[in-house]
């Protein structure tokens, strides 16, 4: 049974930066709490961070999420990844602040490889940071869990004096078909995979991950992941069951 935490409404942070609406978030005692909107987001967040943990990916490179009940509703919790004196900015906000343009509108007119190169060059030229490894690792994760919500607000940077760095990988809740109304549990995972689309660059997960694969440092340990998933609920149509079947495809 998940633990329940009661949080007063004064700690509510309304997030309107998502691609498909508003999600209820709270910031309380140095932690972020997110309430499920579709059902399953907290579970998907926890599983995504577990996948990276099992693959010995450096914990500083991703946000660790745990499932929790928030005021009686399912969701997840994570630690604030900012240190004192640091600030966070999304790629969307960075681009729009400097150019006055939505990066999605600009890159949508480009081929996906040119779009990736454009964003890499934009960040390098404006704040001196090479984000190829960050993009490569995030795209690698998204290709495994089929994250359909990796828009430019779900890539971010941390600004701290003259030493900016990439944010840890965060916001993986709309993965494994969570929130996808076209998902059909009676179909095979190979069939369902066809209705999952990536964001930000190409709609094809494989094209995105392969373009920067030489910079990727996230190497999945699929044997460990399978062993872990076998200890989870694989009888019902849970995100654990979906990932187990996806790995087998």
| pLDDT tens-digit series, residues 137-166 | 999 999 999 999 999 999 999 998 889 999
Confidence of residue 15 (pLDDT cuts 50, 70, 90): low
Of 96 and 20, the structure prediction assigns the larger pLDDT to 96
Q: By the 8 A CB rule, do 155 and 90 touch?
A: yes
Predicted local confidence at residue 243, as pLDDT:
98
* 39 within domain boundaries: yes
Last residue of a domain, one of 57, 79, 101: 79
- Note whether 109 and 198 are same-domain residues: yes
- Note whether 123 and 15 are same-domain residues: no
Among 91, 40, 37, 38, residue whose Cα is nearest residue 65? 40
Predicted local confidence at residue 20, as pLDDT:
58
pTM, to two decimals: 0.95
Nearest-angstrom CA–CA distance, 33 and 221: 29
Would the pLDDT of 204 be above 90?
yes
- Note whether 145 and 179 are same-domain residues: yes
Predicted local confidence at residue 65, as pLDDT:
98
Q: By the 8 A CB rule, do 139 and 209 touch?
A: yes
Nearest-angstrom CA–CA distance, 219 and 61: 13
Predicted local confidence at residue 249, as pLDDT:
63
Compute the C-alpha angle 7/156/117, nearest 5°: 160
* 166 within domain boundaries: yes
- Note whether 54 and 124 are same-domain residues: no
CB burial readout 119-132, b (16+ within 10 A) else e: bbebbeeeeebebb
Compute the residue count for the chain: 249
- Note whether 66 and 104 are same-domain residues: no
* 238 within domain boundaries: no
Beta strands in the chain (DSSP E): 4-5, 12-18, 21-28, 31-35, 65-70, 73-79, 87-90, 156-159, 165-166
- Note whether 10 and 116 are same-domain residues: no
Predicted local confidence at residue 121, as pLDDT:
98
- Note whether 135 and 201 are same-domain residues: yes
* 98 within domain boundaries: yes
Domain count, the chain: 2
Neighbouring residues of 22: CB distance < 8 A, sequence distance ≥ 6:
14, 15, 16
Mean pLDDT along residues 97-119: 98
* 248 within domain boundaries: no
Residue 130's domain comprises: 89-219
Mean pLDDT along residues 236-248: 95
Would the pLDDT of 59 be above 70?
yes
Collapsing DSSP to helix, strand or coil, 44 comes out as: helix
**Which CATH number is 69's domain given?**
3.30.200
Compute the C-alpha angle 97/20/188, nearest 5°: 130
Last residue of a domain, one of 29, 44, 79: 79
- Note whether 204 and 144 are same-domain residues: yes
- Note whether 102 and 184 are same-domain residues: yes
* 8 within domain boundaries: yes
Question: Which pair of structure tokens corresponds to residue 117?
Answer: 């190169």
Last residue of a domain, one of 32, 55, 79: 79
* 247 within domain boundaries: no
- Note whether 60 and 96 are same-domain residues: no
- Note whether 53 and 101 are same-domain residues: no
Predicted local confidence at residue 156, as pLDDT:
97
- Note whether 202 and 111 are same-domain residues: yes
* 214 within domain boundaries: yes
Beta strands in 80-133 (DSSP E): 87-90
Compute the C-alpha angle 207/210/45, nearest 5°: 85
Predicted local confidence at residue 162, as pLDDT:
80
Question: Which pair of structure tokens corresponds to residue 189?
Answer: 């995972």
């Amino acid at each position: 049974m998940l633990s329940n935490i009661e949080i007063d409404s004064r700690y509510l942070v309304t997030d309107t930066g998502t691609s498909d609406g508003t999600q209820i978030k709270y910031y309380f005692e140095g932690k972020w709490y997110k309430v499920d909107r579709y059902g399953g987001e907290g579970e998907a967040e926890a599983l995504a961070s577990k996948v990276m943990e099992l693959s010995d990916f450096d914990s500083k490179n991703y946000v660790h999420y745990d499932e929790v009940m928030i005021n009686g509703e399912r969701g997840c919790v994570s630690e604030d990844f900012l240190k004192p004196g640091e600030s966070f900015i999304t790629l969307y906000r960075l681009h729009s602040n400097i150019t006055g343009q939505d990066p999605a509108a600009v890159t949508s007119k480009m081929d996906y490889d040119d779009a990736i190169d454009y964003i890499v060059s934009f960040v390098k030229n404006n704040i001196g940071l090479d984000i190829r490894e960050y993009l490569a690792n995030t795209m690698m994760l998204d290709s495994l869990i089929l994250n359909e919500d990796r828009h430019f607000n779900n890539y971010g940077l941390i600004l701290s004096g003259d030493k900016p760095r990439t944010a840890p990988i965060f916001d993986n809740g709309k993965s494994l078909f969570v929130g996808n109304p076209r998902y059909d549990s009676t179909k095979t995972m190979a069939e369902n995979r066809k209705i999952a689309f990536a964001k930000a660059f190409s709609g094809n997960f494989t094209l995105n991950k392969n373009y920067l694969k030489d910079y990727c440092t996230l190497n999945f340990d699929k044997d460990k992941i399978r062993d872990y998933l076998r200890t989870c609920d694989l009888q019902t149509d849970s995100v654990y069951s979906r990932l187990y079947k996806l790995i087998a495809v």
